[in-house]
Amino acid sequence: MKFKKVLCILTAAMMVFGATACGGGGNTDSGTGTPDAGTEDTGSAEDESAGQDADAGNEEADAGAETETDAGESAGLTGTLKVAAVETAYGADMWKDVCAAFESSHEGVTIELTVDKKLEDVITPEMKSGVYPDVILRAVGAESGLTETFVKDNNLVDLTDVLAMTVPGESVTVGDKILPGFVENSICNPYGDGKTYLMPMFYGPCGLFFDQGLFTAKGWTVPETWDEMWELGETARAEGIALFTYPTAGYFDAFFYALLHESMGNDKFQEALRYGEGIWDTPEAQTVFDIIEKLASYTESTTPANANDNDFQKNQQLILDDKALFMPNGNWVIGEMAEAPRAEGFEWGFTALPAVTAGGERASYSFFEQVWMPVGAENQDLGKEFIAFLYSDAAAEIFAKSGAVQPIQGMTDKLDGDNKLYYSIYDNGAVAVMDAFAATDAVEGVTTRATFFDPVNSLVTGDKTKEDWVNQIKTDSDALRAALKE
């Protein structure tokens, strides 16, 4: 009997112990869950790049001798840097290689890398318990809103001084290397105080994609104004082809910004991004709403049924099948649809948005990802050094190998093939638009996506009128304006 009691107590104790152990395991899991992508691989990448070690080290020393700040900073910089990057179409390898290159050029530095497609799921549990990565690569506009949350919470490290830092191993400053416009915008300066909190990384022009082969075969020309667009819409309709489709309503963000810029010019555009009072009643804004309303009437009718994260590729397929002429997208679509069947003679074509008036501005939105540091980062100096390193030629080359192009001077000259076509869009007269709606404190129940872009689905199905949409925009803009970060 007594034995039984002891056994019971022992079992109970083991259960509690086991549960506690499980709890602890849950916490560390987030850190070690992906390291097969992280720690383990940096190890092997380190081996690979061991040969470059000496060279890089020398370069680093040279650069250090040239500039005082750099020498001062890199001299004391050792330790472990936690880097978290989202894995996108470019893959995870480039991050491993870049981290290895940084490690080999910075003695005494170890990088703990986390690369994951669902980055938030991996790093959030640790962040909730107060352990933050030092450097995070995640763009605004992601569904999780990770970056936006940090912006809204004033939880970002001021990176303005990184612009003045010399790129490790080189003699130019980071600020001089980055293409103009990429730092001076509302995404990188979310609070409008002239300080840079997010640094621009890989970018890609967004615009309208179409089948160049179909245009050649039919003898159609790519419209340069919206009036020509509507004419083409009628011609195509007569042949049973819809003028327009879109993957999901979320893709209207780039489209909307570019169209707003075309219609209202930069000053009013900036005002609109700050939800300026009465801005949506101006004739320029009304023109934008009219164009989108008309475009909705030319949209392939089944589009809203597939305009979700699950089925959006069916909408993209409409372009490949010549069932619709244009869709707004970014250059990643080519990789996304690489394996998809396509109409005979299909060839990707890409254009900026048509102009609102003949001879007027044609704009293309430049989507770019951002790298930033949370206030909770422990190794802030080392983190800044790492960010500066990301703009070095050595890093840019590694990224470019995977197709990731940074906004660095001279980078587009090094591109070839398809990439050249997309990135040269700005050389052909298109205006690059890079801003986004200004940062606000969180407004419960209001998101820019639900207010501005999702209703496009309703315009296509006829569940909402343009007036409903504009009224919603006006009401929500009032709420967002009141919550603007000053």
Partner 1 sequence: MKKKRRSGFIIACTAPAVILFVIFMIIPTIDVFRMSLYKWGGYTAEKTFVGFENFKKLSQNPKFYQAFQNSVLLIVIVTLVTFCLSLVFASILSREKIKGQNFFRIVFYIPNILSVVVISAIFSAIYDPNQGLLNSVLNLFRGNKEPILWLGSQKLVIYSVAIAMVWQAVGYYMVMYMASMSNVPESLYESASLEGAGRISQFFSITLPLVWTNIRTTLTFFIISTINMSFLMVKAMTNGGPDGASNVFLSYMYQEAYTNSSYGYGMAIGVTVFVFSFALAGILNAVTRREEIEF
Task: Give how many residues touch partner 1 by CB under 8 A.
Answer: 55
Q: What angle do CA 214, 244, 332 make, to 5 degrees?
A: 75
**Counting contacts by CB under 8 A, is residue 455 touching partner 1?**
yes
Nearer Cβ to partner 1 (5/427): 5
**Counting contacts by CB under 8 A, is residue 305 touching partner 1?**
yes
Query: In the complex, what is the shortest distance from the CB of residue 248 to partner 1, in angstroms, rounded to a whole number?
Result: 8
Per CB under 8 A, which of residues 284..303 are in contact with partner 1?
A: 301-303
Binding mask 22-61 for partner 1 (x = CB under 8 A): -x--------------------------------------
Binding mask 221-260 for partner 1 (x = CB under 8 A): ---------------------------xx-----------
Q: What angle do CA 261, 262, 264 make, to 5 degrees?
A: 65
Query: In the complex, what is the shortest distance from the CB of residue 290 to partner 1, in angstroms, rounded to a whole number?
Result: 20
CA distance 369 to 201: 5
CA distance 194 to 9: 65
- For every residue of 104-163, DSSP letters joined together read HHSTTEEEEEEEETTHHHHHHHHHHTT---SEEE--TT-TT-HHHHHHHTT-B---HHHH
Query: In the complex, what is the shortest distance from the CB of residue 63 to partner 1, in angstroms, rounded to a whole number?
Result: 35
**Counting contacts by CB under 8 A, is residue 136 touching partner 1?**
no
Tokens of 105: 């050029």
**Counting contacts by CB under 8 A, is residue 21 touching partner 1?**
no
In terms of Cα–Cα distance, which of 408, 385, 373 is closest to 164? 385
Query: In the complex, what is the shortest distance from the CB of residue 303 to partner 1, in angstroms, rounded to a whole number?
Result: 8
- Helix, strand and coil in the chain, % to nearest 5: 50, 15, 35
Q: Containing H/E element for 294? A: helix 283-297
Looking at 32-40, 120-128, 354-362, 404-412, which segment touches partner 1 (CB under 8 A)? 120-128
Looking at 82-90, 372-380, 406-414, 424-432, which segment touches partner 1 (CB under 8 A)? 372-380
Per CB under 8 A, which of residues 392..431 are in contact with partner 1?
A: none
Distances (CA, A) of 192 to 104, 273, 319, 329, 486: 37, 12, 39, 28, 7
CA distance 250 to 449: 7
In terms of Cα–Cα distance, which of 332, 11, 390, 317 is closest to 163? 390
In terms of Cα–Cα distance, which of 253, 245, 218 is closest to 232? 218
Looking at 45-53, 343-351, 399-407, 460-468, which segment touches partner 1 (CB under 8 A)? 460-468
Q: How many CB atoms lie within 10 A of CB 211?
A: 24
Nearer Cβ to partner 1 (71/443): 443
Nearer Cβ to partner 1 (99/146): 146
Query: In the complex, what is the shortest distance from the CB of residue 389 to partner 1, in angstroms, rounded to a whole number?
Result: 26
Q: How many CB atoms lie within 10 A of CB 44?
A: 11
Q: Containing H/E element for 424? A: none
Among 5, 75, 238, 341, binds partner 1 (CB under 8 A): 5
Looking at 68-76, 143-151, 274-282, 400-408, which segment touches partner 1 (CB under 8 A)? 143-151
Tokens of 95: 């991050």
**Counting contacts by CB under 8 A, is residue 474 touching partner 1?**
no
**Counting contacts by CB under 8 A, is residue 370 touching partner 1?**
no
Nearer Cβ to partner 1 (10/358): 10
**Counting contacts by CB under 8 A, is residue 153 touching partner 1?**
yes
Nearer Cβ to partner 1 (8/172): 8
Binding mask 306-325 for partner 1 (x = CB under 8 A): xxxxxx--x-----------
**Counting contacts by CB under 8 A, is residue 155 touching partner 1?**
yes
Among 52, 124, 225, 313, binds partner 1 (CB under 8 A): 124
**Counting contacts by CB under 8 A, is residue 144 touching partner 1?**
yes
Helix (H, G, I), strand (E, B) or coil at 325: strand
Helix (H, G, I), strand (E, B) or coil at 459: helix
Query: In the complex, what is the shortest distance from the CB of residue 173 to partner 1, in angstroms, rounded to a whole number?
Result: 31
- For every residue of 349-383, DSSP letters joined together read EEEPPPBSSTT---EEEEEEEEEE-BTT-S-HHHH
CA distance 435 to 460: 27
- Most distant CA pair in the chain: distance in Å? 96
Query: In the complex, what is the shortest distance from the CB of residue 309 to partner 1, in angstroms, rounded to a whole number?
Result: 5
Nearer Cβ to partner 1 (19/172): 19
**Counting contacts by CB under 8 A, is residue 266 touching partner 1?**
no
CA distance 71 to 90: 33
Among 87, 103, 148, 170, binds partner 1 (CB under 8 A): 148
Per CB under 8 A, which of residues 433..452 are in contact with partner 1?
A: 442-447, 450
List contacts with partner 1 (CB under 8 A). 5, 8-9, 12-13, 15-16, 19, 23, 120, 124, 127-128, 130, 143-146, 148-150, 152-153, 155, 248-249, 301-311, 314, 374-376, 442-447, 450, 454-455, 457-458, 461, 463-464
